[in-house]
C-alpha cells in the first residue's frame, strides 16, 4: 500500500507531499492542473522512462519518493528480491526514490540503496497497477492471464501440482542429456581414468615411504665414507694396526696410575671409579663401532632401485598431488568416478522409467486442469460481460481464449492428451489469453490493442471487480476511467471502485462528481500562477471543501443548487 508520495521539481509541481490510507482515494481538478503529473510520478517509481525534460524549469534535478507498506502477499512475492539485494528495512516499509538529473542518468534507490532500473520494474509489478494509459498494467500482459484464471477458479493447487511434475521431468531430462551429450568424450574420460587408477595402483604406494626411502638413499650413497670413518674411529679406540697408542691403552695406563695414587690419598676413590667406568664404556663403544663397520655394505644395485622408486613417486606427485596421501586420494576419486560411469547405464534405465511415469502423470493432471480451466473460463467471461453491461458497454464481448499448441516433432515439450501430442510448460498445456471485442461486429483482440483509454479502464475495472480476490497487486490506480460516460454510468463506476477498495487500495483520477463522491479521501489538484510562474498544488479536502469541489464538478460553478446536489451525493454515501 502507498502510504506517502513526495514530488519535487517535476514539471509544474515544485513540491507536493501527500499521505494516503486504505480505501478509495479520488483526485480531481481542472484539465491541465497536474493530475497526470502525479500519475507520471508514480510511474517513475515503478521504473517508467525518465527524461531531463521532466525537470521543472530553473531546477537542476527532480525527485519522486514513495513510501509503501508491504502486506503479506507482497512480502512473500518481494521477499527473495529484497533479501538478495540487502534491501529490507527494519520497519518493514519500502521507500522507493527516483532522482532525475540534467547532467547525468537518473538514480534509483530502494531503502536508501542504489539499485538498477530493472529492480524498480520488478518491485513495481508487485506494488501498483496503473489502469488507463497501459504503461504498467499486469492484465495487459498475456503471460499473467493463466495465473489470473487459476486464482479466479481456485485452481492453484492443480496448477502447482502440474508445475512440480514438469520441474522434475525437466530435471530428469537434463540429467539424461548430460549422460548422452558426448559418448566419445565419456569414452576418452574412461580411458584416462583407467590409466590413472592403474598407474597409481601399480605403484603400490605406502604412506611415509618416500621419507623412509630418502633416508635409505643417504645411507647407501655414503656407504664408502661411513665405512672409512667407522674404521678410523675403531682404530683410534683400540689401537689396531698402525695406531699403537690407542685410547683404551692410554686410559688403562691412567687407571694404573690413578690406582697407585688412591693408595696414597683415599679422597680420589670416586675419581678412580669414574675412570674405571669410562674405560668400560669406551671398550663397549669400540665393540659397537666394529659391529657398525662390519655391517656396512656398498650396494650400488639397491641404491639404484631406491633412486628409481623416488623418481616414480616424484612423477606421481607432479600429476596427482603433493604427497603420497593426496596421490592415493586422487586414485580413490578416479575409481569412484569410473564406478559411477559404469553404473550410468543402470541410472539411465531408471531415469527413463521415471520419465515415462511422469509423462503419464502429467498427461492426466494437465488434462484435468485444462477441463477445469475451461469451466472457469466460461464463468469468468459471463461475469466480466455482466460487469461491462453495468459500465455502459452492453455490446462488449469478453473471451477467455484457451487453446493448445501441438508439440514440435521430436520435441521434449510434448505430452499426449486425447491422442494429440501437445506442448506444455510449468502451467500445463493451456495457452490462456484474455480477448475483448468492445463493439458488435469487431473481432476479439488482445487487451493491449484497445485504443480507447476509457474503454481500457472500464474493462480493467470490470475485470478487477470479478478478479479482486485473485489479484495480489495491493494498489490500483484508474486514470481516464470516466471518458465517454455520463452520470448514471459514473455512479455505477464509482460504486464498483468503492467495493473494489475493500480488497485493495484504490485511486481514481476523475472529472465526474458521481464517481468522486465515493472517495474516502478526496485530493484536489489545482494550478496557480505566482510571479509569472505556474505551480501545481495538491491537497486533501475537508468535508465542506468536498461539497464545493463536487458542486463545481456538477455545474462548473458552486451555486447553491449545485451545493445542495453535491451535499446530497455525499450524504447518500457517507451519512
What is the reported pLDDT for 245?
67
Contact in structure between 380 and 149 (CB atoms under 8 Å): yes
The answer to whether residue 275 sits within a structural domain is no
Domain count, the chain: 1
What is the reported pLDDT for 378?
95
* The three cell numbers locating residue 200: 597409481
The answer to whether residue 525 sits within a structural domain is yes
The answer to whether residue 263 sits within a structural domain is no
Domain span including residue 73? 1-127+521-540
Whether 467 shows a pLDDT value over 60: the answer reads yes
Relative to beta strand 505-509, strand 475-479 is parallel
Whether 29 shows a pLDDT value over 70: the answer reads yes
Q: In 3-state terms, what secondary structure has residue 415?
A: strand
What is the reported pLDDT for 357?
94
Q: Of the ranges 198-212, 280-294, 422-436, 465-479, which one carries the lowest mean pLDDT score?
A: 465-479
The answer to whether residue 147 sits within a structural domain is no
The answer to whether residue 184 sits within a structural domain is no
Q: Of the ranges 106-120, 283-297, 560-574, which one carries the lowest mean pLDDT score?
A: 283-297
Q: Of the ranges 57-61, 68-72, 403-407, which one carries the lowest mean pLDDT score?
A: 68-72
What is the reported pLDDT for 478?
86
Smallest Cα–Cα separation from 40: which of 30, 31, 51? 51
The per-residue pLDDT of the chain, averaged, comes to: 86
- Cell 592403474 locates to 198
The answer to whether residue 467 sits within a structural domain is no
Residue 141's alpha-carbon distances to 137, 435, 506, 548, in angstroms, are 7, 11, 21, 40
Give the pLDDT mean for 15-33. Answer: 91
Give the pLDDT mean for 156-176. Answer: 93
What is the reported pLDDT for 182?
64
Distance, in Å, from the CA atom of 535 to the CA atom of 33, rounded to the nearest integer, reads 9
Whether 411 shows a pLDDT value over 70: the answer reads no
Question: What are the two backbone dihedrals, phi and then psi, of residue 54, each rounded to the nearest 5 degrees?
Answer: -75, -20
Burial grade of 121 (CB within 10 A; 0-12, 13-18, 19 or more): middle
Give the pLDDT mean for 365-370. Answer: 95
- Give the model confidence (pLDDT) of 96-142 as tens digits: 999 999 988 889 999 889 999 989 988 888 888 887 654 456 677 88
Question: Per residue in 181-194, is it b (16+ CB within 10 Å) or e — as a string?
Answer: eeeeeeeeeeeebe
Collect all residues with Cβ–Cβ distance below 8 Å to 527 and sequence separation of at least 6. 12, 29, 30, 32, 33, 34, 534, 535, 536, 537
What is the reported pLDDT for 244?
56
Whether 469 shows a pLDDT value over 80: the answer reads no
Highest mean pLDDT among 136-150, 164-178, 406-420, 479-493: 164-178
Band of residue 90 on the pLDDT scale cut at 50, 70, 90 = low
Whether 446 shows a pLDDT value over 70: the answer reads yes
Contact in structure between 26 and 515 (CB atoms under 8 Å): yes
Question: Per residue in 12-47, is it b (16+ CB within 10 Å) or e — as a string?
Answer: bbbebebebebebbbbbbeeebbbbbbbbbbbbbbb
Element (H, E) at 48: none
Relative to beta strand 113-115, strand 431-437 is unpaired
Q: Which residue has the higher pLDDT, 491 or 265?
A: 491
- Give the model confidence (pLDDT) of 48-59 as tens digits: 889 999 999 989
pTM higher than 0.75, yes or no?
no
What is the reported pLDDT for 298?
80
The answer to whether residue 24 sits within a structural domain is yes
Q: Of the ranges 415-419, 507-511, 516-520, which one carries the lowest mean pLDDT score?
A: 415-419
* The three cell numbers locating residue 421: 501430442
Band of residue 349 on the pLDDT scale cut at 50, 70, 90 = confident
The answer to whether residue 6 sits within a structural domain is yes
Whether 398 shows a pLDDT value over 80: the answer reads yes
Distance, in Å, from the CA atom of 484 to the CA atom of 490, rounded to the nearest integer, reads 10
- Give the model confidence (pLDDT) of 476-515 as tens digits: 888 877 776 777 888 888 888 898 898 889 999 998 999 9
Q: Give the domain CATH number at 39.
A: 3.40.50.300
Give the pLDDT mean for 15-28. Answer: 93
Give the pLDDT mean for 152-156. Answer: 91
Burial grade of 83 (CB within 10 A; 0-12, 13-18, 19 or more): exposed
What is the reported pLDDT for 452?
60
* The three cell numbers locating residue 431: 495457452
* The three cell numbers locating residue 65: 519518493
Q: Which residue has the higher pLDDT, 355 or 225?
A: 355
- Give the model confidence (pLDDT) of 195-245 as tens digits: 999 988 998 888 888 888 888 888 888 778 877 777 777 676 676 555 556
Highest mean pLDDT among 4-13, 77-86, 279-288: 4-13
What is the reported pLDDT for 150?
92
What is the reported pLDDT for 296?
80
- Cell 492443480 locates to 158
Band of residue 549 on the pLDDT scale cut at 50, 70, 90 = very high
Distance, in Å, from the CA atom of 77 to the CA atom of 504, rounded to the nearest integer, reads 16
Residue 411's alpha-carbon distances to 165, 408, 424, in angstroms, are 17, 5, 11
Amino acid at each position: 500500500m502507498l502510504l506517502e508520495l513526495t514530488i519535487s521539481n517535476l514539471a509544474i509541481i515544485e513540491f507536493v507531499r501527500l499521505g494516503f490510507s486504505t480505501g478509495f482515494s479520488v483526485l480531481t481538478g481542472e484539465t491541465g492542473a497536474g493530475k497526470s503529473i502525479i500519475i507520471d510520478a508514480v510511474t517513475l517509481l515503478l521504473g517508467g522512462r525518465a527524461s531531463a525534460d521532466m525537470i521543472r524549469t530553473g531546477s537542476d534535478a527532480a525527485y519522486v519518493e514513495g513510501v509503501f507498506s508491504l502486506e503479506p502477499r507482497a512480502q512473500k512475492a518481494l521477499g527473495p528480491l529484497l533479501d538478495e539485494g540487502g534491501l529490507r528495512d527494519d520497519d518493514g516499509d519500502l521507500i522507493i526514490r527516483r532522482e532525475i538529473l540534467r547532467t547525468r542518468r537518473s538514480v534509483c534507490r530502494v531503502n536508501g540503496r542504489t539499485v538498477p532500473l530493472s529492480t524498480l520494474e520488478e518491485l513495481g509489478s508487485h506494488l501498483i497497477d496503473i489502469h488507463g494509459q497501459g504503461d504498467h498494467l499486469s492484465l495487459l500482459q498475456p503471460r499473467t492471464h493463466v495465473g489470473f484464471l487459476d486464482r479466479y477458479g481456485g485452481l492453484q493447487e492443480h496448477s502447482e501440482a502440474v508445475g512440480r511434475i514438469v520441474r522434475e521431468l525437466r530435471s530428469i531430462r537434463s540429467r539424461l542429456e548430460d549422460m548422452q551429450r558426448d559418448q566419445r568424450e565419456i569414452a576418452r574420460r574412461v580411458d584416462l581414468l583407467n590409466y590413472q587408477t592403474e598407474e597409481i595402483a601399480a605403484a603400490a604406494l605406502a604412506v611415509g615411504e618416500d621419507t623412509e626411502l630418502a633416508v635409505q638413499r643417504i645411507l647407501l650413497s655414503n656407504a664408502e665414507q661411513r665405512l672409512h670413518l667407522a674404521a678410523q674411529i675403531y682404530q683410534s679406540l683400540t689401537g689396531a694396526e698402525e695406531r699403537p697408542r690407542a685410547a683404551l691403552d692410554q686410559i688403562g695406563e691412567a687407571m694404573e696410575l690413578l690406582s697407585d695414587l688412591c693408595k696414597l690419598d683415599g679422597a680420589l676413590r670416586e675419581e678412580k671409579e669414574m675412570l674405571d667406568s669410562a674405560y668400560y664404556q669406551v671398550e663397549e663403544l669400540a665393540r659397537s663401532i666394529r659391529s657398525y663397520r662390519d655391517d656396512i655394505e656398498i650396494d650400488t644395485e639397491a641404491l639404484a632401485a631406491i633412486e628409481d622408486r623416488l623418481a616414480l613417486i616424484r612423477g606421481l606427485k607432479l600429476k596427482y598431488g603433493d604427497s603420497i596421501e593426496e596421490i592415493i586420494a586422487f586414485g580413490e576419486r578416479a575409481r569412484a568416478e569410473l564406478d559411477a560411469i559404469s553404473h550410468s547405464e543402470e541410472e539411465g534405465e531408471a531415469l527413463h522409467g521415471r520419465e515415462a511415469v511422469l509423462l503419464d502423470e502429467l498427461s492426466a493432471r494437465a488434462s484435468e486442469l485444462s477441463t477445469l480451466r475451461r469451466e472457469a473460463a466460461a464463468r469468468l467471461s459471463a461475469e466480466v460481460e455482466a460487469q461491462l453491461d453495468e459500465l455502459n458497454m452492453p455490446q462488449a464481448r469478453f473471451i477467455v481464449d484457451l487453446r493448445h499448441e501441438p508439440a514440435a516433432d521430436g520435441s521434449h515439450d510434448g505430452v499426449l492428451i486425447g491422442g494429440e501430442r501437445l506442448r506444455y510448460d510449468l502451467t500445463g498445456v493451456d495457452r490462456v489469453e484474455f480477448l475483448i471485442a468492445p463493439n458488435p461486429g469487431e473481432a476479439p483482440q488482445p487487451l493491449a490493442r484497445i485504443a480507447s483509454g476509457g474503454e481500457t479502464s472500464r474493462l480493467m475495472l470490470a475485470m478487477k471487480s470479478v478478479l479482486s480476490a485473485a489479484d495480489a497487486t495491493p494498489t490500483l490506480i484508474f486514470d481516464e476511467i470516466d471518458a465517454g460516460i455520463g452520470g448514471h454510468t459514473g455512479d455505477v463506476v464509482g460504486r464498483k471502485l468503492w467495493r473494489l477498495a475493500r480488497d485493495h487500495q484504490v485511486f481514481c483520477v476523475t472529472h465526474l462528481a458521481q464517481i468522486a463522491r465515493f472517495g474516502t479521501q478526496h485530493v484536489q489538484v489545482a494550478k496557480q500562477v505566482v510571479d509569472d510562474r505556474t505551480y501545481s498544488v495538491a491537497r486533501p479536502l475537508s468535508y465542506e471543501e468536498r461539497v464545493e469541489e463536487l458542486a463545481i464538478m456538477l455545474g462548473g460553478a458552486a451555486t447553491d443548487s449545485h451545493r445542495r446536489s453535491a451535499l446530497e451525493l455525499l450524504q447518500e454515501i457517507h451519512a
